[in-house]
Amino acid sequence: MEEIKQRLKQMIIEDLKLADLRPEEIDDQAPLFEAGLGLDSLDAVELVVLIQKHFGVQIVDMEEGREAFQSIDSLARFVDARRAEAVN
């Protein structure tokens, strides 16, 4: 799970262009959208594509995404659970 979180943070920083942040500065529980990192609706749909590309996990629509995108924690749990399902 820790590895997933690290990869997620790296991906968010690189691919969402948050050049002034380092992974250790991203709090696992901090909100990703609005407050916290301050990502917006365009980042949200970009994140859907990134999750699919880097983790092979598909997010069908933004309803599903909303839950998962609360924080790094929730996103990591979501990705982990989906990948486990795919294996089984």
- Binding stretches for other proteins (CB under 8 A): 16-20, 40-43, 45-46, 48-49, 52-53, 61-62
- The residue type found at 56 is G
Q: Minimum distance between the CB of residue 48 and other proteins, rounded to whole angstroms?
A: 7
What whole-number distance in Å separates Cα of residue 16 and Cα of residue 85? 27
Choice between 1 and 14, CB closer to other proteins: 14
Length of the chain: 88
CA 65 to chain CA mean position, Å: 9
What whole-number distance in Å separates Cα of residue 52 and Cα of residue 77? 15
Q: Minimum distance between the CB of residue 34 and other proteins, rounded to whole angstroms?
A: 13
Q: Minimum distance between the CB of residue 2 and other proteins, rounded to whole angstroms?
A: 26
Choice between 37 and 72, CB closer to other proteins: 37
